[in-house]
Amino acid sequence: MLSTLQRTQATQLLDKYLGRYENSLFISLGELDGRALVFVSRLGEQKQHGISALSSSSLALAETFVKETLGGQAQYGLVNSESGNLVTVRVPKPDRGYVLSLGTDRQASPAIALRAALDAASEVSALLP
């Protein structure tokens, strides 16, 4: 659970990333159990809880797939579609389980979307308990 100050700081930080990458549609920060913590979006707030739950499931699927096929641990998941990109990363916080997802439109490069998600996750981790 985030304090009001932590939630405000995380929202401001993620909003900065959303503004920096013009093709970004949303950034979702949640817990691995699917609970939404922070959501900034150009799509509207109505998708917040669904995106957080799907982010958690997406990361779990990527981690299981990698573990079962390659014997390692997934660092992130990236889905590229004709509509855009979805990047889901585990926030680097070893003692807690957080997940960050970033969605972009189809004009965004998958590599830039991945870099933005990894940078946002790294930066937001410093604000989390």
The H or E element that residue 96 is part of is: none
Which CATH architecture does the domain made up of 4-125 adopt? 2-Layer Sandwich (3.30)
5-29, pLDDT tens digit by residue?
Answer: 999 999 999 999 999 998 999 999 9
pTM of the entire structure?
0.92
Based on the number of CB atoms within 10 Å of its own CB, is 7 exposed (0-12), middle (13-18) or buried (19 or more)?
middle
Convert the pLDDT of each residue in 17-69 to its tens digit: 999 998 999 999 999 999 999 999 998 766 778 899 999 999 999 999 999 99
What are the extents of the domains in the chain? 4-125
- Whole-number Å distance between alpha carbons of 30 and 23: 22
CA separation for the pair 32, 107 (Å, rounded): 29
